[in-house]
Structure 1
Amino acid sequence: MNQVNIFNENVEAYEAWYEKYPEVYLSEVAALKEQFLKLPENIKGLEVGIGTGKFAQILGIKEGVEPSNEMASIARKRGLEVVNGNAEILPVKDLNFDFVLFVTICHLNSAKQAFKEACRVLKPKGSIIIGFIDKDQKIGKAYEENRMRSTFFRYANFYSVIQVTKLLKEAGFKDLEYNQTLFGNIEEIKEVQLPKKGFGEGSFVVIKAVKK
C-alpha cells in the first residue's frame, strides 16, 4: 500500500488526531504564523500537500495541491481550491506564487525534487516555508521507533534540520530562518506553546527561506 492509499483510506483517523491533540496542532500553527508574519501582505500562496485543509484554512491560504482524492475532497468542502497532484511534479506554471508552504515533509517521495519544484513555481524572491518534525528531537525519535505500529508513519522519511537546510540550499534558496515548538512528548503538551527562535530543542521546526 503506497502512502496516497493510506491517506485515502484513513481520513477519519487523520481528522481525529487533530481533535485529540488540539494544543499540539495550535502550537504548530503558532510557529508557522510567526514566519508568515514576515511575509508581505496581499500575496498569493500555495500549500503543497494540503491534506484536508487544516493548516491552509487557519493560515488563510486559498490554494493547494494534494495527491489523495479523499483528503482533497474534505479540503474543498472547507472552501479551498485544490488540484490533485504530486509535490515532485507540481501542476502549476512557473513563477506563479509569492510563497509555498509544506507541512510534514516526511510523506514526500523526494524532498529534494519537491523543493526544486517549489523554487520553480515561486516568483523571484518568493519564500518557501516548511514545517516538519525534526528526527533528532523527542517526538521525531518516538515516531521513528514506533513507525511499524503507526498507520501514517510506517513509510515516512523523517529529516533532521541539517538535512532540510542542505536540500533547500541545493534547490536554490537562501536566507534561512528557523523557529521551533513542541517541547516535550505529545501526550505531555496540554497547552499551546509559544515558538522559540532557532532549533535543537523543539520537535516541530519551521524554516523560512527565500528564492535566490
Structure 2
Amino acid sequence: MTGDPRAGPFSLHHRRYEDWFDRHRAAYLSELLAVRALLPWQGRGLEIGVGTGRFAAPLGVAYGIDPAAEMLGYARARGVHATRAIAEALPFADEVFDYALIVTTICFVEDPAAMLREAARVLRPGGVLVIGFIDRNSPLGQDYLAHQAENVFYREASFYSADEVSALLMDTGFHDPVWVQTLSTPLERTRDIEPVSAGAGQGAFITVRVRH
C-alpha cells in the first residue's frame, strides 16, 4: 500500500502519541465530549484516521482506517475493526456507512478534498460526517504553527481555519453544518473538562457535523 509520508511519525512514535492522551487527559476528554455532542448514537460508523482508537472505541465507532500500521494494534485492542489504508482511497464499497468520523486527520492528509469525496462515496444517502480539528486561527493553532518545526507530529501538518473546512465541505457536496467548540484556555493550563459550546471562533478544538 502506498501511504502518505506524513504517517511516518505516527508509526515511529506511536507510544509518544498514546502518552499525549494521558498527559492531557482533561483536554482529551473535552475533545471527546465535543465529538460526542454531534456524532450519531446509532448506525454503522467509520473513523477515517482512527489512530490508536482513542475516539472510535469510547464513541462506539465500529470501523476505522489508518495508514500507520503500528497504530492499528492499539485500535484493535480497543475493539475497533481497524484496517490499514489511506483516507483518499477507502477500501469499502459505496454507500455502506451511516456516518463517518474524522478527528484531527484533516491536517495530516495529502489531499483533504479527495478524503472528503471518499467519505461521501462510502456514506449512505443522508449519511452524517463529523469532523474534529484544531482551528488554525485559535491561540492553540497559532502556537502549533509557531513551533511546527519542533513538533514530531505536526512538522508536516497543514492547519485549517473553520472557514476553510466549511468551504471544503460545501465544495464536496456536504450541507447543513452544525458547529461546536471547546478548549478555550491554553493546553498547558487545561486542568478541567471544558463544557461544549455552540459555534466556532472561541475554542481551539472545533467539531462540525454535516450531511451527505
TM-score, normalised relative to structure 1: 0.96
Q: 1:92 maps to which residue?
A: 92
Q: 1:62 maps to which residue?
A: 62
Q: Percent identity?
A: 36
For residues 46 and 177 of structure 2, the distance between their equivalents in structure 1, rounded to whole angstroms, comes to: 19
For residues 42 and 146 of structure 1, the distance between their equivalents in structure 2, rounded to whole angstroms, comes to: 39
Q: 1:170 maps to which residue?
A: 171
TM-score, normalised relative to structure 2: 0.96
Q: 2:200 maps to which residue?
A: 199
For residues 58 and 92 of structure 1, the distance between their equivalents in structure 2, rounded to whole angstroms, comes to: 23
The amino acid of 1:165's aligned partner reads S
* RMSD (CA atoms): 1.0
3-state DSSP of counterpart to 2:55? helix
Q: 1:135 maps to which residue?
A: 136
Q: Render the CA deviation track for 1:59-104: whole Å, top value 9, x for unaligned.
A: 1111101111000111112221011100011111100100000000
Count of aligned pairs? 208
Unaligned runs of 5+ in 1: none
Q: 2:16 maps to which residue?
A: 13
Residue 2 of structure 1 deviates from its aligned partner by: 2.5
3-state DSSP of counterpart to 1:54? coil
3-state DSSP of counterpart to 2:92? coil
Q: Render the CA deviation track for 1:148-183: whole Å, top value 9, x for unaligned.
A: 110100000100000000000111100001000001
Is 1:42 the counterpart of 2:49? The answer is no
For residues 177 and 147 of structure 2, the distance between their equivalents in structure 1, rounded to whole angstroms, comes to: 31
Residue 5 of structure 1 deviates from its aligned partner by: 1.5
Residue 42 of structure 1 deviates from its aligned partner by: 3.1
For residues 126 and 67 of structure 2, the distance between their equivalents in structure 1, rounded to whole angstroms, comes to: 27
Q: 2:102 maps to which residue?
A: 102
